[in-house]
Amino acid sequence: MADDSLTRLIFVRHGESDANVQRILGGEKSCTGLSELGVRQVTALRDRLSKEPETSVDVLYSSTMPRARETAEIVNGALGSLRIHFDNELVEHRPGEADGIPFSDIAERFGTNDYLGRPHSSFASGAEPAKLFEYRVSLALETLLDKHKGSTIMIVCHGGVIDIAFRHFLELPRRSQFDLWTLNASLTEFAVDDKELNRGRWRLVKYNDHAHLSGLPFETTQTNY
């Protein structure tokens, strides 16, 4: 039986994308959606969710980027075809002129930059500073929480967004002695008793749960691009 005194946030990182396979910085301009493996990963997640009533979802949000949109649309098959709230404030870090550039070329094109150590600077022209990215995502999360207190909310998004959520809800420093590596199509969940919501006493229920990906390759075998 569901506990209706809880607010739950279930984050889904999108499946492997074409940008992941091509090793490019996939921003809003260059993202073309999921890879073939990415579709298989998300389908496996959908099949798992359809068998787990404890993951019953009240509200479904998604980043507007194609790889997240596709993921949300596939996963929604296990959620009763909910309305998908597409929110462009939940997109990954906006890389400006580095959008679509191979990772291997970024330093040569834009120079080296301490992205976290200098959070108010842009590593490329038009790129979103780390501090602005953090503020944008945190505000978007708090806004949707205000609308859906006491609900189970699924958010289909990106590794960077989940990283910010992790630090925001657990009140951890932006720069610390650990890095997060959130896997494609994995589940991360936070919960808070509604009496504690305004005090920010969140609990991490799970991180990087990817049991449904057993038997699938970790990533697409690389070819030359």
Say how far apart CA 89 and CA 91 lie, in whole Å. 6
Token readout for 194 is 């509604």
CB 91 within 8 A of CB 64: yes
SS3 for 92? Answer: coil
Digits of tens for pLDDT over the chain (225 positions)? 345 689 999 999 999 999 999 999 999 999 999 999 999 999 999 999 999 877 789 999 999 999 999 999 999 999 999 999 999 999 999 999 999 999 999 989 988 877 777 888 898 999 999 999 999 999 999 999 999 999 999 999 999 999 999 999 999 887 776 788 999 999 999 999 987 777 778 999 999 999 999 999 989 987 654
Q: Which parts of 66-204 fold into alpha helices (H)?
A: 66-75, 103-110, 130-147, 159-169
At 164, give phi and psi (nearest 5°). Answer: -65, -40
In the chain, what are the domain boundaries?
Answer: 6-213
In the chain, % helix, strand, coil (3-state, to 5) comes to 40, 20, 45
pTM higher than the cut 0.85: yes
pLDDT at residue 177 in the model: 67
pLDDT at residue 136 in the model: 98
Say how far apart CA 89 and CA 159 lie, in whole Å. 14
Say how far apart CA 109 and CA 89 lie, in whole Å. 27
pLDDT at residue 4 in the model: 65
CATH of domain 6-213: 3.40.50.1240
Q: Which parts of the chain fold into alpha helices (H)?
A: 18-22, 36-50, 66-75, 103-110, 130-147, 159-169
